[in-house]
Amino acid sequence: MLDREKVIKALEHCKDNQYVNDCNECDYGGKTGIFCIMMIDNAISLLKEKEHSETFIVIDNKTGEEADTYNIALHEDWAKHLCYCDIDGWAIQDDGTLLLVDDCGRVAYADRERFKVKWE
């Protein structure tokens, strides 16, 4: 996972670096380096504006698709104690642990290798 502050500092350093203005890779409209600086400005603004959104989806690495909570609770041993027809959704603990939760408040701990969180 990237350290946001390090990325922002590196982009700010690159923006002020004289070599960006001499960049031959990003010639935009005949003004060497202008496009590069513009993109760096946009990236810095975006990173400063928002760390990540408040919503996320969970991707099942077995399928490459969004995790099907109904089928997981119905068929998988680690989540069978949940009420499959009344799944509340996913939750993330302070330490990053991913949980599947039902409406009765029961939780099942998801495998970190199998699932990944995608912030929207």
pLDDT of residue 49: 65
CB atoms within 10 A of CB 101: 16
Q: Contact at 8 Å (CB) between 117 and 65?
A: no
CB atoms within 10 A of CB 79: 21
CA distance 99 to 6: 30
CA distance 7 to 2: 7
pTM for this model (two decimals):
0.58
Nearest to 104 by CA among 81, 120, 78: 81
The predicted-structure confidence for 45-60, as pLDDT tens digits, reads as follows 766 666 666 789 999 9
